[in-house]
Structure 1
Amino acid sequence: MQPHLGLNTPSMASLTPADEDELMMDINTTPLIDVMLVLLIMLIITIPVQLHAVNLDMPVAKTAPPPTPPLVVRIDIDANSVISWNGQALPDQAALQVQLRQAALLQPQPELHIRSHPQAKYAAAAAVLAGAQRQGLNKLGILGTEPLGN
């Protein structure tokens, strides 16, 4: 059989759409997908295995004794400006200073809860606060200020 030289073939311009083969305009993506899958498998293989645990050497828990409640000293100042130490009236400021000095020596230091009557003189409350400061007592609480909160 002799090769056809195209002498009797119609020219490209004279071909009808039924005669021509459809032109393929799509890109063949199969090789691209194959390359992508190979790269993905290589990436998965090369990533080190990650552990989701953190190894810590924790200290062994020891049962601590329950905390001891602090010693509370109630200092009351009545309407006549008489100072009471845990319910016992003190005769003067010197007796208050002796009590404060003894409280400062205790370890741990006690909490001083000071409650003053509204009719008491300010000087009596100021003397208690100044004496506590001089002795180094720093755990103070002023009680009876609920009406002032409004």
Structure 2
Amino acid sequence: MAYPRRRSPVAASPMSQMNITPLIDMMLVLLIMFIVVIPLATHALQVPLPTGKGRFDIAATNTVHIDTRDRLLWNDQALNSQELLNQMASAAALPDQPLIRFEPHPAASYDRSARTIALIKDAGIDTFAFAGNERYRTFDAE
């Protein structure tokens, strides 16, 4: 004998809640697509590091000079930025750091001078001086 079906009052009323399962599925698919499509960050910060010992002798007082053609000179011997960084690191590693005098030519570029000062600072030099500024103490008014 079959039992008659009962109608419950809950089943007879219409459903009033929205089914959000498909919405969540689509959001997850879109999230995965964005993760795959967006490129990774490709920028890099270049930090100069010393690559070895300095090749020139380190005296008690050393002069870093920039000439009119923006060449670097260590005690009147030409070198490039990496070699200057190596010299500075060798000087900074000494127990008694030597005095580093910075003497750019007036026609040297400001950018080269600023980069050289930053390189000296980053190398850890504590005894640093600007030399030759007394020549520019007075200006001729023309």
CA distance in 2, matches of 1:89, 1:147: 24
3-state DSSP of counterpart to 2:63: strand
Alignment of 1:145 with 2:133, yes or no, is: yes
Aligned match of 2:107: 119
Which deviations, in whole Å up to 9, do the C-alpha atoms of 1:19-66 show, x marking residues without a partner? xxxxxxxxxxxxxxxxxxxxxxxxxxxxxxxxxxxxxxxxxxxxxxxx
CA distance in 2, matches of 1:146, 1:111: 18
Aligned match of 1:131: 119
% same residue: 29
Aligned match of 1:60: none
User: Counterpart amino acid of 1:83?
Assistant: L
CA distance in 1, matches of 2:118, 2:132: 19
Conserved 8 A contact 1:76-1:85: yes
Within 5 Å, which residues of 2 pair with 1:77-92? Answer: 77-90=66-79, 92=80
Conserved 8 A contact 1:83-1:124: no
Within 5 Å, which residues of 2 pair with 1:5-44? Answer: none
Aligned match of 1:72: 61
Runs of 5+ consecutive residues of structure 2 not aligned to the other structure:
1-58
The alignment covers a number of residue pairs equal to: 80
Conserved 8 A contact 1:71-1:111: yes
User: Counterpart amino acid of 1:114?
Assistant: F
Give the TM-score taking structure 1 as reference length: 0.50
Once the two structures are overlaid, the 10-residue window that deviates more, 127-136 or 108-117, is: 127-136
3-state DSSP of counterpart to 1:79: coil
Alignment of 1:97 with 2:81, yes or no, is: no
Which deviations, in whole Å up to 9, do the C-alpha atoms of 1:97-123 show, x marking residues without a partner? 111111111121110011111110112
Runs of 5+ consecutive residues of structure 1 not aligned to the other structure:
1-69
Deviation at 1:129, TM superposition (A): 1.1
User: Counterpart amino acid of 1:131?
Assistant: L
Let me know the Cα RMSD of the aligned residues.
1.5
